[in-house]
Structure 1
Amino acid sequence: MKGMSTLLQIVREAVFALGRELVAWKPSSARALFGLEAMLSVALAVVFANALHLSNTWWAAISGFAVMQTRFSGSIQRAIHRILGTVLGALLATLLGPMIGDRPWLFVPVLGLMGAGAIYFANASKVSYAWILGGITALMTMYEAHILITFKATAGFATLRVAEVVAGTLACVIVASAFHFAPQWHARVFPAGETSGDAPPDVTPPSPPPAIEPSAASLRPVRALLAVQCGIAIVILASLTYLLKLPGFAQAMVTCVAVLLLPASALAHLVERPVVVRMVHRVTGCLIAGVLAIVLLPLTQGNAWLCMLALSIGVWLGCHVQTGNEGASYVGRQFTIAFLMVFVQDHQWSANPVPALMRLSGILTGIVVLAFVILATSRWRAATQVPMDAAG
């Protein structure tokens, strides 16, 4: 009963936070600019993917969005990590997948170990994004290897995955660079003293003192628990996909990995609530995005211009919520990612909602399986709590 009341409270908080964000519709220049950058990055990523005839346009679109950060340096760092992790993950799975892909008794546990390893090393790591992208790419490529069997076919799939990520990441870097360097060029060509009066005083508030983070040793039990939960969930999902031919395994697996990646501040406290909050926010964002995308798909009738317009509006709305201060930031981010997954088709624009429904079902399946795993491993939670003195 206590667990159910906590869940209902988290759901209520997420809904109220999203409601406050929508009511307090105040798009500042910084928030509007970030939404515009993300919108242009996604649109350019789709153009690149279609021009190159890539298999999964939606993955290029997600890369174009996920790499974009509010700071230019953050976007460049994230771009490097995404490409590096993707290449290494694809290489590992290409070499290993064909060797064990036809032996499910070995293949499925290896998938679980890969997911567990990615989560363990990503949490509390300075290059967590590279670990996560490496794990996700390795899992996707490994799973395809059991269908493709041969090294050549698996290598072809992995190469397409890398190309999709590179196309989306390149689009983001181009847009971020344009928005970063254009004002600098304008400032050199048109100095402020020639066009306006004295510059306004610097009103930037002082930076807060850095937070004291817990030690790496104190976080190991928490990281181990998250890794075990991820590994078990992926094993269950892979087994169900083998036995029942469930669709959307890729989205289910990505959901498990994404939800279990936590900041160090969250790792320093009880694991369960931060993870449940992320799960609730992901479900909330995904459901809203899924309904909206499925409604819009028939209205666009596959028209490229209408699709791009709807796509751009959806991305801008998601970014606006993500950059808000009402507590619905993760809902906005998950809304955007899910909207891209569901709305952007594989090869070309289409009004067919079936691929969208399959991907959405995969996301929700991942949440359900992970919820059962977390519930089953809840007794381990007390052993992973970081003592306050160890956390600083």
Structure 2
Amino acid sequence: MTLAGTLAQLCRTAVFGLGRELAAWKASRARATFAAQAMLSVALSVALANSLGLSDTWWAAISGFAVMQTSFAGSVQRAAHRIIGTVTGAALGAIAGPWIGDRPWVFVPALGAIGAVAVYRANGSKATYAWVLGGVTALMVTYEAHKFASFRATALFATLRVAEVAVGTFACLLVASVFHFGPKWYRRNRTPTDATAARVAGESAGLPGAAESTPPLESARSTRMLLCLQAALSITTLASLTYVLHLPGFAQAMVTAIAVLVVPPGLTADRTRQPVMEKMVQRVAGCLLAGTIGVALLPLMQGQAILCMLALSIGVWAGCHVQTGRQGASYVGRQFTIAFIMVFVQDHHWSSDPMPALMRLSGILTGIVVLAAVMFVTSRLYMPPMPQDASR
């Protein structure tokens, strides 16, 4: 099938899957519980970030959502990976960024190398999420360093980024702990029947789409090298365009380029195109849907905190419902939720101005376009297995 044919098929699959999910709007107890946890985690993240006066409240809110998993153990593991990756990436960017920020011939290739290493390691590590967050944070801080041209300002930016992630992660773990230990305490004091306990356990197990999948095993080296090359070319192109043209939303463009290049384990290099394109299509669909609805609602909210928080909570709930569905639109739901948070949670205050959100969403679309172009150029490139792979 041609590239255009594959793209058209994936678009139809995403649209029809989303339509079936919305038509079958029936929340089970497990799905409703996960949506409630995510909604409360985002709301608490926003409240804490605002009370602390953090500059990028939306990043704390995204952390509060992204860390939440259907199991408490999964949330704890994801929280650890997010903190470790963010701290490591922030430290790398704060140290290296000011040294190379004013040297584009070093700065641009360095960003490409950071993204390439992050994608290569993320596709062959059990700590995939830590590598993704480490790479993304290092890219963000390093890029900002070229604008600050100061070690102190760069270090402050890196510290604020770590603080925002820490606040969102703390909020998520607090909410997850209440939902995890609360029922246990209740059942211990209420002493339910074995049938009731079995029913509760059955409902909380097997929820699709929300929990982090089994950590990937070591992928074929040829597959990782191809994805690594695509990441390097995409981020180098984005960095060059942004350095010269000052394109908006560079941070989200970089996040997109890395996130969609993390594929399920076990794929050969010539079979990575479809899963990457599927994530690209569903990411665009979720972001466009959230952007359209969110920007339409912003003027109605008039910057009122209660109304904005209510709309945000409803959007998070709806996105989580789609994310945990079984109709093939799970990634649409996740991207819808993240984009909806970007629209309503703006820096350190509530606002009806859609421009900050549109700038971030434009960065996501820019990242998709550049990555699609890189994939088209490298579509016929196949790296054969290394001798040690062929002998296995």
Class of the TM-score when normalised by the shorter of the 2 chains: over 0.9
Deviations 1:165-187 (A, max 9, x none): 00000000000000000011111
Per the alignment, residue 337 of structure 1 pairs with 338
SS in 2 for 1:337: helix
Per the alignment, residue 359 of structure 2 pairs with 358
Q: How does 1:216-365 map to 2 (within 5 A)?
A: 216=218, 219-266=220-267, 270-365=271-366
Per the alignment, residue 113 of structure 1 pairs with 113
Amino acid aligned to 2:165: V
Distance 1:267 1:38 in 2: 35
Q: 1:261: how far off?
A: 1.1
Q: Does 1:33 align with 2:33?
A: yes
Q: 1:199: how far off?
A: 4.7
Q: Structure 2: 5+ residue runs without aligned partners?
A: 207-212
Deviations 1:168-226 (A, max 9, x none): 00000000000000011111222125xxx86576795999xxx999973x611111111
Q: Give yes or no for contact 1:225–1:384 (8 Å, CA) kept in 2.
A: no
Q: Give yes or no for contact 1:215–1:391 (8 Å, CA) kept in 2.
A: no
Distance 2:344 2:161 in 1: 19
Q: How does 1:1-392 map to 2 (within 5 A)?
A: 2-192=2-192, 199=196, 216=218, 219-266=220-267, 270-381=271-382, 383=383
Q: Structure 1: 5+ residue runs without aligned partners?
A: none
Distance 1:95 1:320 in 2: 41
- TM-score w.r.t. length of structure 1: 0.92
Amino acid aligned to 1:246: L
Q: 1:326: how far off?
A: 0.5
Distance 1:198 1:108 in 2: 61
Cα 1:221/1:155, change in 2 over 3 Å = same
RMSD (CA atoms):
2.5
Distance 1:30 1:255 in 2: 29
Amino acid aligned to 2:289: I
SS in 1 for 2:258: helix
Q: Would you say how many aligned residue pairs link Structure 1 and Structure 2?
A: 383
Q: 1:340: how far off?
A: 1.1
Distance 1:134 1:213 in 2: 17
Distance 2:162 2:244 in 1: 29
Q: Give yes or no for contact 1:214–1:391 (8 Å, CA) kept in 2.
A: no
Cα 1:55/1:26, change in 2 over 3 Å = same
Cα 1:199/1:342, change in 2 over 3 Å = closer
Q: 1:343: how far off?
A: 2.1
Distance 1:342 1:240 in 2: 25
Q: 1:124: how far off?
A: 2.6
The sequence identity of aligned pairs, in percent, is 62
Q: 1:384: how far off?
A: 5.5
